[in-house]
Amino acid sequence: MTVLVLGGAGYIGSHAVDRLLDNGYDVAVVDNLVTGHKEAVRKEARLHIGDVRDKAFLRKVFTEENVEGVVHFAAFSVVPESMKDPLKYFDNNTGGMITLLEVMHEFNVANIVFSSTAATYGEPKQIPIKETDPQIPTNPYGESKLAMEKIMHWSDVAYGIKFVALRYFNVAGAKPDGSIGEDHNPETHLIPIILQVAAGKRDKLQIFGSDYPTKDGTNVRDYVHVVDLADAHILALKYLADGNDSNAFNLGSATGFSNLEILEAARRATGKEIPAVMAPRRPGDPSTLIAASDKARDILGWKPQYDDVEKIIASAWNWHEKHPNGYKG
Ligand code: NAD
Ligand code: UDP
C-alpha cells in the first residue's frame, strides 16, 4: 500500500516515515522543507519537494504516485508565533488542508490520518481531557487545527473522505539509535531547549510562569514518545482501511509533568546541572493539559512502549549527543 506523508521531513513525520517503511508500506513524502530536513527522510521513501498549498504540484504528485492513504503532518506549530501572526497559521495549516482535500477528492483518495493537537481543547474544564470535551482553543495555532478537523468532517459528509484526527499532547524523544530526532531552528519546545542548556549551547532555561494553579505553579503537560506516536498513525491507517468511520483520538500518557519536574528528570537523564530561572507567563499557554487516551488504546489497540519520562528525555539526549548541530552535523 502506498502512503503519502505530507510533512514527512519534519520531526514527527520523519519518525512516521521510518516506522511505515519498517512495517512494509511503500512511502512517498511531500515537504517544502520550510522547517523539515531532507536528511531526515529515509532513502527508500520518494521525496517530492513542494508546497501543500500548490494545487498543480499536488496534482502532479497524485498522478505519479498510486496514493491509497494520506498522513498529514505539514503545518506550522509554534504557539507564540501564531499569537503574533495568526494569518500565517490559517493560510498554511487551514489553507493547506483545503487544497489537499480538493486533490484527494479529485483522485478518489478516501482516507486521511491527521496531526491534530491538544491545543484544540484550550483551557480544559476537566482533567484528564476526553475526546468529547469542548474544543475552545486559546491560540490561533489550535484554532487553525480545529478548523482543519471541521473541514475534514464536512468533507466526509459531502465526499465520503474518512479521517482520523490524532490529537497529540506533548511529543518528545527520538528514534532509539539516534539517527533521526528533533531539529527546529529556532527551537521553542521545552525538552530540546533544556537539552541545549545541558549541552552548553544556551546559558539557562527560562521557565514561563510560576503562578499557575498547579502542584508547583508551573504548567503541567503530558508527554508521549515520538516512536509510540508514529506507531499510532499506522494503527489509524489500518482502522480506516478496515472501513471504519471517521474518528478522533487523544494520544498522550494520561500522566502530567510540571515544567519543573521535566527539568529535574532532564538533570537526572543527562547528569548535567542545567541552570534555570523563572520568567513571565508565555501568552496562549493553558495551565494543564493531560490526555485521557484509553480510547486510542481500546479502539486502535495502541500500546505505547515508553511510560517513563526520563527514558523519553534520555532518547532525545542520545540524538543531541550524536548530532550536536542537528542534521548539519
Ligand atoms: P515540524 O515543523 O518538524 O514538521 C512539519 C513539516 O511540515 C516540516 O518538514 C515542514 O517543512 C513541512 N511543511 C510545513 N508547511 C508545509 C507546506 N505548506 N507544504 C509542505 N510542507 C510543509 O513539526 P512537528 O513537530 O514534526 O509537527 C508535525 C505535526 O504535528 C504538525 O502538524 C503539528 O501541528 C503537529 N503537532 C506537533 C506536536 C509536537 O509536540 N511537536 C504536538 C501536537 C501536534
Ligand atoms: N516552556 C518553558 N520554557 C521554554 C519553552 C517552553 O517554560 O523555553 C514551557 C511552556 O511555557 C509550556 C511547556 O514548557 O508550559 C511546554 O511547552 P512546549 O512549547 O514544549 O509545548 P506546548 O505545550 O506549547 O505544545
Residue 75 confidence (pLDDT) above 80: yes
Is this model's pTM higher than 0.85 or not?
yes
- Confidence class for position 169, pLDDT limits 50, 70, 90: very high
pLDDT score, position 307? 84
d(CA 191, CA 172): 7
Amino acid identity of residue 45, one-letter, is: A
Record the cell numbers describing residue 82, joined without a space.
501564531
**Beta-carbon count within 10 A of 27 CB:** 24
DSSP state letter for 129: B
H, E, C per residue of 239-294: HHHCCCCCEEEEECCCCCEEHHHHHHHHHHHHCCCCCEEEECCCCCCCCECCECCH
Q: Is 259 in the pocket of ligand 2 (CB under 6 A)?
A: yes
Residue 313 confidence (pLDDT) above 90: yes
Residue 329 confidence (pLDDT) above 90: no
pLDDT score, position 285? 86
CB 181 within 8 A of CB 36: no
Render pLDDT for 43-73 as a digit per residue (tens, 0 to 9). Answer: 999 999 999 999 999 999 999 999 999 999 9
Helix 140-159 with 96-106: angle, nearest 10 deg: 20
Residue 255 dihedral angles phi and psi, to the nearest 5°: -125, 135
pLDDT score, position 78? 92
d(CA 313, CA 35): 22
Local structure of 231: helix, strand or coil: helix
HSE of 59, CA atoms in CB hemisphere, 13 A = 5
What is the best residue among 5, 11, 81 to mutate for testing ligand 1's pocket, by most ligand atoms within 8 Å of CB?
Answer: 11
What average pLDDT does this structure show over 260-284?
Answer: 96
Tell me which ligand sits closest to the C-alpha of residue 171: 1
pLDDT score, position 90? 98
Record the cell numbers describing residue 113, joined without a space.
490520518
Helix (H) or strand (E) holding 198: helix 190-198
Relative to the CA of 259, which ligand 2 atom is closest?
Answer: 14
What average pLDDT does this structure show over 161-175?
Answer: 98
- Confidence class for position 149, pLDDT limits 50, 70, 90: very high
Residue 153 confidence (pLDDT) above 90: yes
Q: Is 202 in the pocket of ligand 2 (CB under 6 A)?
A: no
What is the best residue among 35, 193, 312 to mutate for testing ligand 1's pocket, by most ligand atoms within 8 Å of CB?
Answer: 35
CA distances to 168, 194, 323 from 224, rounded to whole Å, are 8, 17, 22
> In angstroms, what is the span from residue 213 Cα to ligand 1's centroid?
30
Q: Catalytic site residues?
A: 141
Which of 254, 262, 247 is closest to 228 using CA atoms? Answer: 254
Record the cell numbers describing residue 298, joined without a space.
481500546
Which of 155, 151, 132, 154 is closest to 143 using CA atoms? Answer: 151
The mean pLDDT value of the chain amounts to 97
HSE of 23, CA atoms in CB hemisphere, 13 A = 19
Number of H helices, E strands in the chain: 11, 13
Amino acid identity of residue 97, one-letter, is: M
Residue 42 confidence (pLDDT) above 80: yes
Q: Whose CA is nearest to atom 18 of ligand 2?
A: 189
